């Protein structure tokens, strides 16, 4: 009797389990397989698109189109580290050991592999950024340390100095004989560079500058290469000249000075210089960040990096630029290369995370329809929604940052004023947008790999910790987005005054009136696939949103400035302005991706990129569908069609996800996580970790 009483319970449990499996199967979009005679595609909940043909993608052609002419130099770096396993960063390493390893990695790259980055900083910035990207793929600390040595320390000497400085320091910097630092940030001042407190006072008697740290808040802080390896520093300080007035000195604004900080032979700190270690950090512990305090440190007058302002022997100041603000803007304008490098490097980190998460998701199997094999977790719609739009964004960022590198290189060779402004704002926006997106995506990738993603060997924790600071250095992201918003408002004002707009902002001049008019009630209801996948519709939608945000921001600022003043009005509208900046950057990103697709010479590669571009565009529109619905730019039926088509495109991208990830062409010792290296059987992973 007792056994009979238990049977109904057992049967109920079986039914419950069966129902749960059936419900889970409704989330599947599995790879089509032969069906059992009692199964139908409708029962499995397949999208209609699952029956469509898979795109044929030739990985080699796609990779060549993406990586282009810098593929060879990156392969050289990858091959060097593959042949030197002792230079690959282990999982468990102390701060001090990591710093020494990072130095040996950089030294080997320069001395053994024959990579000489500094000449590319000058002659071919695109090649330099490719070197930094490849080095960062090996160890992000290495990429950052290279950037400190060549882009920041070396770049400041080259870009802010004159011929005498290049003649004296170029070879030593390039060969690592003169390892150096970039000493701008202070304990109390980071983003507000004009507020720096370190002073450099000219002594006309000895023909020297005297560098002083007047307070604890003026200590140079977070200075890369300072704690252990640096022998020189580009020190940013207020230039003070003797004056015959009550103050006794004249403040000429922030300038850069070459200051030796350690003896070239003994490596001991020089007199008047205190060097402290900033200690263990959340990430990037291969980079030796330190703090510098200066007490009456004397340097020759020639150590002033005098491209934009000079001091004569008798203490007279001369400059081709008439005001402190113009000199300051010119100085910072020459340093935007760091932002370009970070946007590019952040995209590289996103590629690695995508490769690991997507390869794992293709192989890992969980659940499945009754009496059928388990299916790949990338066949779950939820997993596709996590990873496929991210993969599309990765491609979008790749081409956008490639464009940024291209116009930055043009700026360095032509010095066209209009291009300088364009690069300054676009580098600020892309650096902020891409690094913020990557930081969030790293956590999504970790989660998408479940418990295995939490193992340190699978790199997500390391990538996340090392990359996190990308959102802060070379300009805090919130501050950089405000720069973009400010420039947009300036362009908006010029539009109505008939002024010349920068290249990136041409659409404001050409189409502002169209975008600000009432939405067309007919096109607002068009829901055909051909229309939704039309690049014109997609780009118009992005630009419509940006234009409305820009107009409404201008109106709000004008209103609030009457009662709150300029600063108060800006602060009242700050979140609105940040949204405006992000919207503009998304418009630029999409425009460049569309252009890249149209230029692609190979038909199959072009079709794959078009699919990825459509997913990026429609997913972004869907994510902000409330904005479009509020102004009737998109009718309810069209919104529903966009949602369905986004699901369709996400599945289609899933079908070629392996080829898209393989086209990144990252070697196994870069995506060295076991879950990313599996090819045939999951048993390879369990054997690797000793199960």
CA distances in angstroms from 473 to 295, 599, 648, listed in the order given: 27, 35, 39
Q: For residue 375, is it left (φ>0), alpha (ψ between -120 and 50) or beta?
A: beta
Element (H, E) at 271: none
Q: What is the token pair recorded at 302?
A: 């020639």
Counting Cβ atoms within 10 Å, is residue 117 exposed (0-12), middle (13-18) or buried (19+)?
buried
Element (H, E) at 261: none
Give me the phi and psi of 218, to 5 degrees please. Answer: -95, 0
Per the DSSP assignment, residues forming a β-bridge with 254 are 238
Distance from C-alpha of 444 to C-alpha of 457, rounded to nearest angstrom = 17
Distance from C-alpha of 417 to C-alpha of 184, rounded to nearest angstrom = 25
Q: For residue 498, is it left (φ>0), alpha (ψ between -120 and 50) or beta?
A: left
Return the SS3 of 556.
helix
CB of 176 closer than 8 Å to CB of 167: no
Distance from C-alpha of 613 to C-alpha of 370, rounded to nearest angstrom = 36
Q: Are strands 208-212 and 297-300 parallel, antiparallel or unpaired?
A: antiparallel
Q: Are strands 180-183 and 232-242 parallel, antiparallel or unpaired?
A: parallel
Distance from C-alpha of 30 to C-alpha of 80, rounded to nearest angstrom = 41
CB of 156 closer than 8 Å to CB of 335: yes
401 belongs to an annotated ligand binding site = no
Closest CA to 588 of 677, 685, 508, 686: 508
What single string gives the DSSP state of each residue in 494-555?
Answer: HHHHT-PPPGGGHHHHHHHHHHHSPPPTTGGG---HHHHT-HHHHHHHHHHHHHHHHHHHHH
Distance from C-alpha of 377 to C-alpha of 358, rounded to nearest angstrom = 10
Distance from C-alpha of 160 to C-alpha of 653, rounded to nearest angstrom = 46
Distance from C-alpha of 460 to C-alpha of 140, rounded to nearest angstrom = 13
Distance from C-alpha of 276 to C-alpha of 289, rounded to nearest angstrom = 9
Return the SS3 of 91.
coil
230 belongs to an annotated ligand binding site = no
Q: How many CA atoms lie within 13 A of 401 on its CB side?
A: 32
Identify whether 474 is a catalytic site residue: yes
Q: Of the residues 334, 474, 582, 586, which is catalytic?
A: 474
The annotated binding site for FAD is made up of 185, 224
The annotated binding site is made up of 185, 224
Provide the annotated active-site residues: 474
């Amino acid at each position: 009797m007792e056994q009979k009483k238990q049977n109904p319970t057992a049967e109920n449990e079986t039914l419950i389990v069966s129902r749960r499996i059936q419900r889970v199967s409704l989330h599947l979009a599995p790879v089509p397989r032969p069906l059992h005679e009692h199964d139908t595609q409708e029962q499995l909940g397949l999208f209609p698109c699952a029956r469509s043909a898979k795109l044929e993608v030739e990985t080699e052609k796609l990779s060549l189109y993406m990586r282009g002419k810098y593929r060879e130099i990156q392969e050289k770096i990858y091959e060097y580290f593959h042949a030197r396993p002792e230079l690959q960063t282990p999982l468990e390493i102390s701060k001090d050991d990591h710093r020494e390893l990072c130095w040996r990695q950089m030294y080997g790259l320069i001395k053994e592999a024959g990579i000489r980055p500094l000449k590319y900083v000058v002659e071919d910035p695109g090649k330099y950024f490719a070197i930094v990207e490849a080095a960062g793929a090996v160890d992000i600390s290495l990429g950052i340390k290279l950037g400190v040595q060549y882009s920041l320390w070396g770049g400041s000497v080259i870009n802010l100095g004159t011929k005498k400085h290049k003649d004296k320091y170029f070879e030593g910097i390039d060969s690592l004989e003169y390892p150096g630092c970039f000493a701008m940030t202070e304990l109390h001042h980071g983003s507000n560079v004009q507020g720096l407190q370190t002073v450099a006072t000219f002594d006309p008697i000895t023909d020297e500058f005297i560098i002083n740290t007047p307070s604890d808040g003026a200590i140079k802080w977070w200075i890369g290469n300072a704690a252990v390896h640096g022998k020189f520093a580009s020190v940013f300080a207020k230039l003070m000249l003797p004056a015959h007035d009550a103050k006794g000195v004249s403040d000429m604004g922030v300038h850069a000075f070459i200051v030796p900080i350690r003896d070239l032979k003994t490596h001991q700190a020089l007199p008047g210089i205190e060097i402290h270690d900033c200690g263990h950090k959340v990430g990037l512990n291969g980079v030796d960040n330190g703090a510098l305090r200066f007490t009456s440190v004397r340097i020759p007058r020639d150590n002033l990096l005098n491209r934009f302002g000079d001091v004569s022997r008798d203490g007279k100041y001369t400059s081709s630029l008439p005001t402190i603000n113009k000199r300051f803007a010119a100085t910072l304008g020459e340093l935007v290369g760091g932002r370009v490098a970070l946007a590019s490097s952040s995209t590289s980190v996103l590629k690695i995370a995508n490769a690991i998460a997507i390869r794992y998701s293709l192989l890992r199997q969980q659940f499945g329809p009754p009496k059928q094999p388990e299916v790949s977790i990338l066949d779950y719609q939820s997993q596709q929604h996590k990873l496929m739009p991210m993969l599309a964004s990765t491609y979008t960022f790749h081409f956008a940052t490639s464009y940024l590198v291209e116009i930055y290189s043009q700026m360095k060779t032509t010095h066209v004023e209009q291009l300088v402004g364009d690069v300054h704002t676009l580098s600020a926006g892309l650096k902020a947008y891409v690094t913020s997106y990557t930081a969030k995506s790293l956590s999504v990738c970790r989660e998408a790999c479940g418990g295995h993603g939490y193992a340190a060997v699978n790199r997500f924790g390391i990538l996340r910790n090392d990359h996190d600071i990308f959102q802060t250095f070379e300009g805090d992201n919130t501050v950089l987005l405000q720069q973009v918003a400010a420039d947009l408002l300036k362009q908006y004002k010029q539009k109505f005054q008939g002024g010349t707009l920068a290249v990136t902002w041409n659409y404001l001049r050409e189409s502002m009136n169209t975008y600000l008019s009432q939405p067309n009630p007919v096109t607002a209801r068009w829901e055909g696939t051909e229309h939704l996948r039309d690049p014109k519709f997609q780009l118009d939608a992005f630009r419509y949103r940006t234009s409305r945000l820009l107009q409404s921001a201008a109106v709000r600022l004008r209103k609030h400035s009457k009662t709150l003043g300029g600063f108060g009005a800006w602060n009242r509208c700050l979140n609105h302005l940040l949204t405006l900046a992000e919207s503009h950057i998304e418009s630029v990103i999409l425009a460049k991706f569309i252009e890249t697709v149209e230029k692609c010479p190979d038909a199959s590669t072009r079709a794959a990129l078009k699919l990825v571009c459509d997913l990026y565009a429609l997913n972004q529109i869907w994510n902000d569908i409330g904005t479009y619905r509020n102004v009737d730019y998109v009718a309810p039926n069209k919104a529903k069609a966009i949602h369905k088509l986004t699901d369709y495109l996400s599945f289609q991208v899933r079908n070629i996800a392996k080829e898209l990830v393989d086209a990144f062409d990252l070697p196994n010792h870069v995506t060295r996580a076991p879950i990313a290296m599996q090819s045939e059987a999951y048993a390879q992973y369990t054997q690797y970790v000793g199960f």
